[in-house]
Amino acid sequence: MLSLMQFAIMPITFIIPIIAGKMRDQRLLTTLSSLFLIGGVIGLMLPVHHLFFIAVSAILLGLGGGMAFSLVMMFFSLRTSTPEEAADMSGMAQSIGYLLAASGPVLFGSCMICSAILRFRLSFC
């Protein structure tokens, strides 16, 4: 399923920046990306064991993730006027993102220590 998700990411990552560059407002693409990601996560959380359903959920995750990543990279160039501003904004966003990402394992580990049931742990964190 991971390879199926990766195959869904590849074309959308190249297509979305072209579409986003031609649009004046990218809210529709951002909303669509969020819906794909939410649909994929909910699809994987449901207790359905059909291969087709899991494959569709993996494809939705791939489409949503590819759209989100390419839109984020595109926003840096769309929202700034000079390369220096884009580099400054990118550096600030990456430092905040890495700070949040570094706190994730610590928070998840503390949830694992406080909880004894795996299902509760995953739904709580």
Long-range contacts of 74-79, Cβ-Cβ distance < 8 Å, separation of 24 or more = 74/16, 74/17, 74/20, 74/21, 74/26, 75/26, 78/20, 78/21, 78/26
Q: Are 43 and 65 within one domain?
A: yes
* pLDDT score, position 34: 95
Domain total for the chain?
A: 2
pLDDT of residue 75: 85
Confidence at residue 74, expressed as pLDDT on a 0 to 100 scale: 86
Of the chain, the percentage scoring pLDDT greater than 70 comes to: 91
Cα 41 to Cα 20: distance, rounded to the nearest angstrom: 25
- Do residues 12 and 54 both lie within one domain? yes
b/e burial code for range 41-71 (CB count within 10 A of at least 16 → b)? eebeeeeeeeeeebeebbbbbbbbbbbbebb
Amino acid present at 123: S
Which of 79, 98, 115 terminates a domain? The answer is 79
Average pLDDT, the chain: 86
Do 113 and 58 share a structural domain? no
Which residue range forms the structural domain that includes residue 96? 83-125
* pLDDT the model gives residue 62: 94
pLDDT at 10: 92
Ranges of residues in the chain whose predicted pLDDT is under 70: 115-125
Q: How far apart are CA 20 and CA 71, in angstroms?
A: 7
